[in-house]
């Protein structure tokens, strides 16, 4: 008997059922208009803005790291880059606050130049960046691992030093992989709660003054307004996340398809 197919569908049901039920209840029997209030929409807006910023920071800060780790097979660096993903996220939040605390020399130096993480958009984005960076690095490293190295070797043999190989050959050939890793890291950042609740429970800066991230807002609604409101707000957040997921699938499928040219003179 071919059990693989029913087993696969069973696995998918395990993953999808709770979310599907929540969406159904949130927009159906348990709908509560407080769950789609302006406050909830602003929280979702903050989460998407912060996650997108964190994703772009991942691209700028960690693309070279992913490439270096891939090519040098440097497992020490790979392990170090994975640390934020392997510790409880509230600890990441506490460590960020400590880094920026007047109790430490580094914190005093940062504060003296106006870098403040506590309840700021900078702190919010910093937490999301650090939490999502390991996902970005891992995804992009896998992409670089799977790349054919002939073009790089050709450039090297022409005299290109490693940094020129990276900028001239690897990055222009890797837009698909970078966008894929970026979208994966944005999805991860969107779901972050633990570190954000410590570093920036509220963002106390314009244009998000007094706004919480979506995950914090939903947690708060669950505690203070009851499950019906939380379920509706959660369903709304899932709706926006599904749009991102769908967009990322479409981008992966259509925007970065490899071009194959057959025939032509040789």
Partner 1 sequence: MGKNGSGKTTLINTLAGFYEVDSGSIVVNGVDVTGLEAHRRGIVVVNHNSHLPNMEVDDHLVYGLKLKGLSTDRKRLELVKSSLGINYNGKVGKLSLGMKLRVALATALLSTPKAILVDEVFSSLHDSVKALEAYKRLSGEWGIDVLYTTQSADEGKVADKLYLIESGRTSLLKSNNKPA
* Binding-site ranges for partner 1 (CB under 8 A): 148, 150-151, 153-162, 164, 168-169, 172-173, 259, 261-266
**What distances in angstroms separate CA 124 from CA 193, 230, 232, 263, one per listed residue?**
11, 22, 25, 53
Tell me whether residue 104 or residue 173 sits nearer to partner 1 (CB atom). Answer: 173
The residue (of 254 and 260) whose beta carbon lies closer to partner 1 is 260
Tokens of 250: 């479409």
Q: Supply the minimum distance, in Å, between the C-beta of residue 117 and partner 1.
A: 39
CB of 110 to partner 1, least distance (A): 39
Measure the CA–CA gap between 104 and 52, rounded to whole angstroms.
30
Six-digit token string for 224: 């203070």
Of the pair 163, 206, the CB lying nearest partner 1 is at: 163
CB of 144: closest distance to partner 1 in angstroms? 16
* Residue whose CB is less far from partner 1, 2 or 157: 157
Q: How far is the CB of 106 from partner 1 (least distance, A)?
A: 36
What tokens were used for 34? 């407080």
Helices (H), ranges, the chain = 4-27, 38-72, 75-81, 83-86, 89-99, 105-112, 121-146, 150-157, 162-164, 171-173, 175-190, 194-199, 214-224, 227-250
């Amino acid at each position: 008997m071919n059990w693989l197919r029913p087993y696969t569908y069973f696995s998918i049901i395990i993953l999808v059922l709770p979310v599907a039920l929540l969406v159904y209840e949130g927009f159906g029997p348990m709908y509560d208009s407080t769950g789609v209030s302006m406050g909830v929409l602003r929280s979702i807006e903050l989460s998407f803005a912060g996650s997108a910023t964190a994703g772009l920071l991942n691209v700028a800060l960690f693309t070279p790291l992913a490439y270096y780790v891939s090519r040098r097979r440097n497992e020490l660096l790979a392990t170090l880059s994975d640390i934020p993903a392997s510790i409880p996220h509230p600890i990441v939040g506490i460590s960020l606050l400590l880094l920026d605390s007047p109790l430490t020399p580094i914190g005093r130096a940062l504060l003296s130049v106006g870098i403040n993480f506590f309840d700021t958009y900078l702190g919010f984005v910093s937490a999301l960046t650090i939490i999502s960076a390991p996902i970005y690095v891992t995804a992009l490293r896998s992409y670089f691992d799977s790349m054919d190295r002939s073009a790089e070797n050709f450039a090297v043999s022409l005299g290109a030093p490693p940094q020129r190989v990276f900028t001239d050959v690897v990055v222009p050939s890797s837009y698909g992989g970078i966008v894929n890793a970026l979208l994966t890291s944005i999805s991860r950042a969107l779901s972050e709660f633990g570190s954000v609740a410590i570093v920036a429970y509220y963002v106390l800066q314009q244009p998000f003054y007094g706004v919480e991230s979506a995950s914090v807002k939903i947690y708060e609604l669950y505690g203070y307004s009851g499950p019906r409101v939380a379920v509706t707000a959660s369903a709304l957040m899932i709706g926006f996340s599904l749009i991102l997921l769908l967009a990322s699938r479409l981008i992966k499928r259509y925007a970065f398809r490899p071009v194959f040219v057959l025939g032509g003179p040789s």
